[in-house]
Chain A
Amino acid sequence: MALNKEVYKEFEDVVGEENICNDPAIMPAYFSTEFAAVILPGNTAEVQAIVKLCNKHKMQFRPICTGWTGMFPPGIILLDLRRMNRIIEINEKNMYAVVEPYVISSQLQAELMKRGLNFCIKGAGTNCTAMLRGHGHMDQTTSGDDRNHLAIEWITPEGDIVRSGSLGSSDEWFCGDGPGPSLRSILTSAVPPGVTPGVFTKAAVKLYHWSGPSAYPVEGISPHYSLSEIPPNMMARYFSFPSVEKMWQAELKIGESEICFELMGFNISMVAANITTSNEEEEETFNRLNKEVQGPGFFVIVVGDTPADFEYKQRVLEKIVSENDGKSLKAVEDPRIEGILMCQCTRISASIRETFRNGGAFNSIPIMGQRDLTIKWAIGAGKAKEPLIEKGYIVDDGGAFFGWGVEQGHLGKTEIFCKFDPGNPEAKAAVEGWQKEQNRRAFTERYFASTMGPQDEIGPALLNYHLWWQKITEALDPNGVSPSGGSLV
C-alpha cells in the first residue's frame, strides 16, 4: 500500500525528511519487500508518534534492529531503528546495562570487558543488537534468552509507553519483574507464533562477571587474526568422546563443577569453519579433523579468577574428561588456533563462517530444554540429513548437530542446521521438507514442542497457548497494526 502525500508528510514531520523514504530503489535492500515507507526514528518519542500515526491510518508496521532476518508483509511501514544506537547506562554495581536497539553486541561487550564484565551474546554474532533475546556461545555462564531481561521500555501497538519491572515504579532498571508491572510472559520478544507486538525502545540486560582480559591482544591482518599471547588464566580446548552418552556425562559434570566459562558443543565441521579462512580450506580441514576425533565433542573455555582458581579448574576438567574417555583435539592445542578460537568464541565474531560462508544460506532447528532429551532427537535429525548430503543438496558436516550448556548445564540448547545454496530450488525445498519433518517428529515422538512446528497441532497439546497468545495480541493491538513475524536480531 503506497502512502499518499498527506500521510507521508505526517510521518515526515515526526522524523524529518532525511529519515523517511518510500523510493522503490531502496526497497530491495530491505528483505525484498515493497514497504510503504522505511522510517528511521531517532528516539522513543519519535517511535511513539509513528506508532500513533500507524493506528490513526490503520497502517501496519514492524521494527528491526540490525535486521539480519525477518519476514515482512508488503505494504507495511518498516521502522529501521538504526539511529537509536546509544548505550544509556552501564551500572557496574547492580550489574546491568541499558541499551537502545541498534547498539551492537560488540560495542557493549568491549565496554564491559574493560570493566570486568560480560553479557550474553546471541549466536548470530556481535554484529547484531545487544538488546534482548539471545542465546549462544557463552550461555554456560551468561544464561540466555529472556532470562537476561530486566526492565524494558516498550511502545505498545497502540502507542502507549509501558515501562516494565522496576522502571514502572522508579527510574531504576535493575529488575524486570517489579516493583512495577512484570509482563515477563508478554515481553519476551519471541513469543510463538510471533514476536511481541510493538517496539522495544530501551532495555536493561543482565551482566556477568568476567575474569578474562580487558581486551584481547589481537594481532595480524584480517582474515588471519591471532592472539599475540594466550591471556593469563585462560585456556581453550576441544574434546571428543567415544559416544554421545560419554560426552553428555562429561558435560553434566562440568556444569555441576562450574569450571568452564563456556561450553560450546561444536561439531567438528563448526570447528573447521571457525579456524579456516576460505571454503576450500574449510573442507580440507573438516576432512582432516574428522579423522582425528573419536566421536561427538565440545569446545570449552576456562577462565580462572586467580592462578590458583585456574589451576583448580584445569585439574577438575582433566579429571572429568579422563573419566569419560575424552580426547583433546591437537589442532586446538596449538596456541595460534587456541587463541583465535578463544577470542572468536567470546567475541562471537565467526558465526557467519559457521553458517553462511559455505552456501549463503542455512535453515536451523534450535531447541532449549534438557540436553539429554534433545540430543536424542538431534541424532535422528542428523541421520535424516544424510540423504540430503548424498544428493549434494547440503554441505557435508557428517550429519552433525551441536549444542551447549546454559547456566552451568541447568538448561541446554541443542541445534541442528543444514547449509545450502539458496539459488538451488531443489536444495531449498529439500531442506524445508527436512525441517518440517523433524519439527513434526520432535512433537509426535514427544521430545519437545518446537516453536517452529505446526502450531495447530502443538497448541492443543499445550493448553491452547497459541489461542491465548492470539487473544493477548488482539487486546494489545485492536487495530491490527503490529503483525507477527520479524526479528530483533
Chain B
Amino acid sequence: MALEDYRGDMEMCCRCSTCKFIPMQKVKGAQYVNVCPSIAKYNFHAYSAGGRLNIAAAMLKDGFKYTDKLLDIVYNCQLCGACGVSCNYAMDMEVLQPISEFRLRCVEDGKTNPALDKVIAGLQKQGTMVPGAKGKRGDWATGLKLKDATKEKVDVLYHVGCLTSYDKNMQKLAKATVKILQKAGVNFGIAGNAETCCGGRAYQMGYKEDFLNQAKKNMDMIKKAGIKTLVTGCADGYQAFKVLYDKYNLKGDLEVLHISEYIDKLIKDGKLKLNKKVNLNVTYHDPCRLGRLGEPWIHWEGKKVPGDRFVFDPPKEYRRGTKGVYEPPRDVLKSIPGVKLTEMTRIKEYAWCCGAGGGVNESNPGFARWTARERIEEAGSTGAEAIVTACPWCEKNFSETIKENGSNLKVYDIVELVEKAI
C-alpha cells in the first residue's frame, strides 16, 4: 500500500498524544513513561507519531514541500513502532505504516540522507549493511567445518546476518549459536560466503528497491537449496524474513524462527539441557523487530464502509504489536540455572527502543546513543548486573554507549548466556 492508501488513517489522528507514552495502565510512576525516542529527544510535536501523520496528511493535500527540517524529522526516527502500540490500545488506525511509507516516498523523491546513501552504496557493492566490511562474510566460520546449506541437505539454515558476520566483536554470537545447535544435535548449515544481507535495515532506511533486490536474492538461494526452516540470530533479520518478505509476497512457506524461539523449542523438546549454573541477575530488553514488529504480517485488502465509522469491508484486523516474540526468550532465560530475571518498566510490546534502528545508528549516532543511555539507566534501575538482548545491533549499541558513558552494566546476547549454561 502506498502513502495515499493511509490517508484515512492519518486523518483519524486526534492528536491525543498517547503515541508519546506507554499505555496508561502500564505507567508505574513519573519515570520511564516515554515510549517514543524521537519526541522524547526533540520535543517538537512534529517528531511524534501524531505529528508525523498530520504532516504527511497535509502534504498529501497540499503537495510535498521538502525542507531540511522535514528531512531531519523523517530520518530521526527509529521506526520502532512503539507509537502504534500505544495508539492502537484505543484506536483502530495504522500508525507505523504511513510513517514508513512517508520515508519510502522521500527516498523515491531523491530526498535521502547522505549517511544512509553511503550505507546503501556499501550494500549494493558488498551485500552487507556494515560499511567498509573487510574480508568475506563466511570468514568467521573458518575451521568450524559447518555444513554449506547451499550444497548439502540440512533441516535448518542458520542465517547469520551482516553485523554478526563481519563485526569481529560480534562474531562470538555466531560461534555461540553454532555451539548450541551442535550440542542439541540439529542438522543445520550456513550459506557462508553465499549469504547476503536480508535487506531489512535498508527497508527501514527507506530504500525499498534495495530491500526487494536483497529479498529476491535470498529467496532464490533458499528455494534453490530447498530450505524449509530458517533460523536467524538477528532481530532485524527475523523481521525481514518473517514479516517484510511476507508483506511483499516473497516468503512463500518458509518457516522463520528467531534463535531464541528455536532454543526455547529445543529445551522444551528435551533436545537441549542447560545444566551449568550462571549466577547472574539480568533484565531482558525486547528488540523492537523481534517483539512488536515481529508480529506476522496480515494480508488484507478492502474498502472503507461509507458512513460514520472507520470500518472496512472486509473487516480489517490490525497488527497491534501483540503477537511478537515475547515469551520464548524469557522462558529460555528462566531455564538457565542461576539466572534471575527482573523486568524493566517498559517491556514487551511497549519496550523502549535500543536506538540503533531505522538508520539512526548510521545517520545520527548521537541520537542512537542517547536512546540507548535511557535504556541502560532503566536496566540499571532494576538492580540487574546485565542487560540481555536478542539482537546484535542492540548489543553493539548498548556496549558502545556503556563504553562512552561508563556503567557497570554488562551486555549479553541471549545465546551467550545459553552457551555458558551448556
A: residues with CB less than 8 A from B are 19, 21, 23-26, 28-32, 38, 40, 66-69, 80, 82-83, 87, 103-104, 106-111, 114, 124-128, 215-216, 218, 221-225, 278-280, 283, 343-344, 347-350, 352-353, 355-361, 392-396, 419-424, 427
The interface residues of chain B lying within 8 Å CB-to-CB of A25 are 46, 55, 65, 67, 69-70, 73
How would residues 60 to 104 of chain B score, 1 for a CB under 8 Å from any chain A CB and 0 otherwise? 000001011110010000000000011011111000000000000
Determine if B73 and A83 form an interchain contact, defined as CB atoms under 8 angstroms apart: no
Given contacts A358-B310, A361-B14, A421-B310, whether A19 and B43 have CB atoms under 8 Å apart is yes
Selected from A21, A68, A107, A422, the residue in CB contact (under 8 A) with B17 is: A68
Q: Given contacts A21-B44, A40-B43, A279-B310, are A218 and B26 in contact (CB under 8 A)?
A: yes
Rounded to whole Å, the gap between the CB of A282 and the closest CB of chain B is: 9
If the complex has contacts A82-B43, A83-B43, A111-B30, are A221 and B91 also in contact, measured as CB distance less than 8 A? no
Chain A residues within an 8 Å CB radius of B45: 26, 29-30, 38, 67, 80, 82
Alpha-carbon distance A452/B44, docked complex (angstroms): 31
Q: B355 contacts the other chain (Cβ, under 8 Å)?
A: no
What's the nearest-Cβ distance from chain B to residue A447, in Å? 27
Min CB gap B4→A, angstroms: 14
Closest chain-A Cβ to B32's Cβ sits at a distance in Å of: 10
Whether the Cβ atoms of A107 and B30 lie closer than 8 Å is yes
Classify chain B: how many residues form its interface, as a range. 35 or more
* Chain B 6-33 interface mask (CB, 8 Å, partner A; 1/0): 0010011111111011011111111001
Q: Is B326 close to A, CB under 8 A?
A: yes
Interface check B50, CB cutoff 8 A: yes
Partner of B310, one of A114, A222, A359: A359
With beta carbons under 8 angstroms apart, the residue of A28, A66, A67 that contacts B58 is: A28
| Contact in complex: B308, A358 (CB < 8 Å) | yes
> Which chain B residues border A419 with CB–CB below 8 Å?
308
B51 touches A26 (CB 8 A): yes
Q: Is the CB of B30 within 8 A of A357?
A: no
**Contact in complex: A280, B315 (CB < 8 Å):** yes
B54 interface residue per 8 A CB criterion: yes
Residue contact A23 to B25, C-beta cutoff 8 Å? no
B90 near A357: Cβ-Cβ < 8 Å: yes
Give the docked Cα–Cα distance between A421 and B30 (Å): 35
**Interface flag for B176 (CB, 8 Å):** no
One of B67, B73, B86, B92 near A278 (C-beta < 8 A) = B92
Determine if A24 and B24 form an interchain contact, defined as CB atoms under 8 angstroms apart: no
Residues of chain A contacted by B14 (CB below 8 angstroms): 68, 352, 355-356, 360-361
The 10 closest A-B pairs by CB, nearest first: A29-B51, A28-B58, A349-B24, A23-B69, A25-B70, A352-B90, A29-B46, A26-B46, A106-B27, A360-B12
Contact between B16 and A356, CB atoms less than 8 A apart: yes
Q: Which residues of B contact A83 (CB under 8 A)?
A: 43
CB contacts (< 8 Å) of A23 on chain B: these are 67-70
Residues of B within 8 A of A223 (CB): 88-90, 320, 322
**Residue B372 CB within 8 A of the other chain:** no
Given known A29-B46, A222-B23, A279-B92, contact A352–B57 (CB-CB < 8 A): no
Q: Mark B172-183, 1 if CB is under 8 A from A, else 0.
A: 000000000000
Contact of A225 among B23, B311, B315 (CB under 8 A): B23
